[in-house]
Amino acid sequence: MPEPEDSVFDRYRDRVDRPIRRLFSVYGVPEWPYFAAGMVANVVARVASLLPPVVLGAAIDSVFTGDAPYDLPLLPASLFPNAQAAQFELSAALIAGSFVVTAVFTYLYGVAANLFAHRVMHDVRTDSFAKMQALDMSFFDDKQTGEVMSVLNNDASNLEVFLDDALQNSARLVVMVAGITVVLVSENWQLAVVTLSAIPLMFVLTRWFMVRAAPRYERQRAAVGNLNTRLENSLAGVELVKSNAAEDHETGRVTDASYRFFQDTMDVLRLSYVYRPGMELLAGLSFAVTFAVGGYWLLNGPPLFLTGSLSPGAFVTFIFLTQRFVTPLAEVSNIVDQYENAKASSARVFGLMDIPAAVADADDATELTDVEGRVEYDDVTFGYDDEDTVLDGVSFDADPGDTVALVGPTGAGKSTLCKLLLRLYDVDDGAVRVDGHDVREVTLDSLREHVGYVSQDTYLFDGTIAENVAYGEFDATREEIVAAAEAADAHEFIRDLPDGYDTEVGERGVKLSGGQRQRVAIARAILADPEIMVFDEATSDVDTETERRIQESLDDLAADRTAVVIAHRLSTVRDADQILVVEDGELTERGTHDDLLAREGRYADLWNVQMTTLDG
Ligand code: ADP
């Protein structure tokens, strides 16, 4: 499978500067109270959890094996009682108390940290969705839905894992390493140097891992995007797949994409196979060396260049605490995993957010109001890309209330012409005007409020018929909905459905026929009641009777407004005020039906062909 070429998406992703920092500064800062509360609770919980081994050490030296003064690190000895019984009771109370404090603060810490992570993610998710929706059609033409889905889905959940797990684990790591270091150094700094010398080595190993893992993670992420695109495409086209018995072909393509993902994942894992056991080994060696050196010290006095004494209590504290930093440090690999993942993911999320909408409101855009319905194309030239010109110097006018029919071969540019009126794309040259206003000078919302569009392939949302009719006019009453459906000649079939207007249409409206879907779309347009209506006539999926009825409702729809109709059957546009023949992006003929027949040109040819076919 060829590498997907560099898209606008990739370009903006590559330009994102320090994405994790941006994640925190843009989305983290507003949630700082949760973050701060989480961190404080974390410090308290972890410090309390270090207390029992330290108290145990102190108790061994003062209560059990000798009569050294009771001594806890960082606290003055004068705070503690001298009597052994009192020291013993204090020790027991401290040990119990620290477990209680650890539990309570771990709970608080979890709540605050979770709230921080999930509140941030909620904002990121809704923001990226809103930004994505504002992008223009050309973005969605190029972009695979699967890839956008993977940003909104996978990348968002990678960030969630990072903000939740990785942040908590790294906070724990910092507190544990710092806390253990302080305790060990204050118990016996020389043995502490021996024990803690493993930590720099662990950081060297981690650095080695990070440098090598970064490019592999990036490849793995790309492979996930690719796989999702594949799955999404195959699912969306399931009907095509089945009707062509192409299941094996699709399975093959998914297998390829999945295999690449598998290989890229294994590439990452092969590194962690070395890294994780390496970390554990270093931690284990540190434990072994501490045991050997400390034990020798207790039995024979200070070994090698070490000096001074080591108490049995301090030795016990060392042994306990050395084991305690194995777990948080072994998490370093996970934290690094999640950090690398989150860095790549946030670059993708911000990359998506940074793509500018090519079609957007001008700074000084005005509201289009009191529309009469005059439409003007003034020498319009347009291409979807820089290479091909799809429309070339198209000019025509339609007066308010006129019906303009566009006819011509497939691919001539008729739909494109209509999309420019809704400003789904911007012209390259010339201008499209509504009531004399260039569509680029009015707000998109107000333009689309006055220009309605019924496309050839009508899309219905999963939901009820009533919801679909009212899409765009969300506060329409049931009476208005029914009236619109009646005008679209849809009321009868809707009434006959099991739940009438409350019938669920199924995903994309699959439970309705093509003709029914189109009538729902017409009802939607009637309800919206725009002054200008663009209608792309359905080509094939309706029978003659349905077609006639649709035609009637369309004629009603067009009667008191400006209508631009793409006609596939010339019989439907006989009465249009103007017929425009579009060929290869240019207007080659224009006039009424009778004018054009009299000219005996292209239209007359098309008419004769269709009449013959119908008669024959
Ligand atoms: P018609 O409606 O007359 O059948 P269209 O306006 O759909 O023609 O298409 C005109 C030309 O523009 C065709 O060559 C088509 O391939 C191309 N085209 C249509 N839509 C797009 C798009 N979204 N991106 C790139 N090219 C497109």
Q: What's the chain's Rg over C-alpha atoms?
A: 36
pTM: 0.76
pLDDT tens for 523-578 read 898 898 899 999 887 655 566 777 777 777 777 777 789 999 998 878 778 888 99
Look at the chain and count its residues.
616
**Under a CB-based contact definition with an 8 Å cutoff, are residues 75 and 187 in contact?**
no
442-449 average pLDDT score: 92
| C-alpha to C-alpha distance for 241 and 231, rounded to whole angstroms | 12
Q: What pLDDT was estimated at residue 434?
A: 94
- In this model, does residue 1 exceed pLDDT 60? no
Q: What pLDDT was estimated at residue 326?
A: 67
359-377 average pLDDT score: 90
| C-alpha to C-alpha distance for 253 and 268, rounded to whole angstroms | 23
pLDDT tens for 387-440 read 889 999 999 999 998 999 999 888 999 999 999 999 999 999 999 999 999 999
pLDDT tens for 311-330 read 889 999 998 888 787 677 76
- In this model, does residue 167 exceed pLDDT 80? yes
**Under a CB-based contact definition with an 8 Å cutoff, are residues 377 and 354 in contact?**
no
Sheet containing strand 586-591, strands side by side: 451-454, 532-536, 562-566, 403-407, 578-583, 586-591
Q: Which of 8, 144, 390 has most ligand 1 atoms within 8 Å of its beta carbon, as the pocket-test mutant?
A: 390
Q: What pLDDT was estimated at residue 614?
A: 58
289-294 average pLDDT score: 93
Distance between Cα 416 and ligand 1 center (Å): 6
State the burial class of residue 174 (Cβ atoms within 10 Å of its Cβ: 0-12, 13-18, 19+). Answer: middle
- Compute the mean pLDDT over every residue in the chain, rounded to the nearest whole number: 86
Nearest CA to ligand 1 atom 6: 413
Q: What pLDDT was estimated at residue 376?
A: 94
In ligand 1, the atom with minimum distance to the C-alpha of 417 is 6
Distance between Cα 417 and ligand 1 center (Å): 10
Residues within 6 Å of ligand 1 by CB? 141, 384, 390, 410-416
Give the confidence band of 2 by pLDDT, cuts at 50, 70, 90: very low
More reliable by pLDDT, 604 or 571:
604
More reliable by pLDDT, 1 or 264:
264
Tokens coding 572 = 């439907």
| C-alpha to C-alpha distance for 597 and 108, rounded to whole angstroms | 82
**Under a CB-based contact definition with an 8 Å cutoff, are residues 260 and 228 in contact?**
no
**Under a CB-based contact definition with an 8 Å cutoff, are residues 34 and 119 in contact?**
yes
Least confident of 15-29, 106-120, 205-219: 205-219
Give the confidence band of 443 by pLDDT, cuts at 50, 70, 90: very high
At CB < 8 A and 24+ separation, what contacts does 603-606 make?
Answer: 603/407, 603/570, 603/579, 606/407, 606/570, 606/581
Residues whose CB falls within 8 Å of the CB of residue 216, separated by 6 or more in sequence, listed in order: 264, 267, 268, 271
In ligand 1, the atom with minimum distance to the C-alpha of 585 is 10
Distance between Cα 455 and ligand 1 center (Å): 14
In ligand 1, the atom with minimum distance to the C-alpha of 385 is 25
pLDDT tens for 47-72 read 999 999 988 988 888 878 876 777 77
- In this model, does residue 204 exceed pLDDT 50? yes
- In this model, does residue 5 exceed pLDDT 70? no
C-alpha distances (whole Å) from 475 to each of 193, 480, 518 are 72, 10, 22
